[in-house]
Structure 1
Amino acid sequence: MNLLEKFLTYERFEMDWRRLLVQGILIALTGATLAMASAFNPNAIVLTARHLSWLPVSGMVILSLGLLECLDAALTKEPRDFLQNLQVGVLDAVIGTMIILSVTEEPSRLSMMIATFLIVRGIVRATLAHALQLPHILVTSLGGLISVIMGFLIWKQWPTGDGWFMSICLNIEIAVRGWAMMTFALWVRTQNVDIDSD
């Protein structure tokens, strides 16, 4: 029996709400910290990139989250979980890589890509929440709406098209993602309590 067959014979792993909660807290804190850094130190030079503020770090975080989503997709046994995690993971990994590789570009060249990413990410989040009947649909849809609004703000370059504003928007999206994961973890906890009480 090869490694893949052994792997697929395992039952789907239990979701540990504590791990999800800690992961959500870390993601939310990372996004909030980078958003504040982008607001209070907008002229930071990261990876020798001028005028991009904290965008390269944001790209690294998005790439990391995308790779984690792809790993989650590989570890799931349910087709719906696999497709959901893979779609989101590939999108994040590609955009994160493109942001990192574009550190020598002007921020205006990244604006359309980042705006499109935020709009698509928001629409995908809200659509998957409804299609897969995920818990806390309202919270997930609100997070998706925030991403879509920020994408349109970047597209219209309002209030500005500078790198620090794009960085703030990306990092708010990361923080909202962590927030949604925390609410999901608390829902998993209540489900486990209900199962244990039966």
Structure 2
Amino acid sequence: MANIYDGMPESPLRSKWVWFVGLGVLLLICGLIALSNLLMATVASVFYVGMLMLAGGVIYLIHAFQVRGWDHVLFWALSGVLYVLAGICAFINPILTSAALTLFLAIALLIAGVFRVFVGRRMRPLKGWGWIVASGVITALAGFVIALGWPVNSLWILGLFLAVDLIIQGWTMLAFGLGIRS
């Protein structure tokens, strides 16, 4: 019986399968640690967003003095200052920042869910349109549930999202590594 892979070139990733498995295990461990303490995972994710905002603000400020014309300089400098202030706020008061980010997440999920339902219904004659609508309903429902529990749930929602993402990525890397090994 012929192997379906006969005649196909071997992937250069195949020799690195153990790295993918190791990364997968590490991500799974990090995800389980985050899941065991959602408040600390929330604070860690807020600090991560804060660092990104600080870096973005500094880049905006540097860029502001590279453009010509005071109206452009003022716009970019103001944008940079706002980003820096938001980043500093994330470090000074991570709980307030997590509340703001959680509310933003709820609103984004609601909007994305409603948009998916709209797009899915417009695709109605096509086969599989119901999956898009179902995805939209679930996404909008998640946004609605998060909004209902706000601001109390802002202490753990971001940490839960981080933990679930780490666990899913861990399983993905583990499965990929074991898949390319064989």
Give the TM-score, by structure 1 length. Answer: 0.40
- Point out which structure has higher relative CO (alpha carbons under 8 A, 6+ apart): 2
Structure (1 or 2) with the greater helix fraction? 2
Q: Looking at CA atoms only, which structure, 1 or 2, has the larger radius of gyration?
A: 2
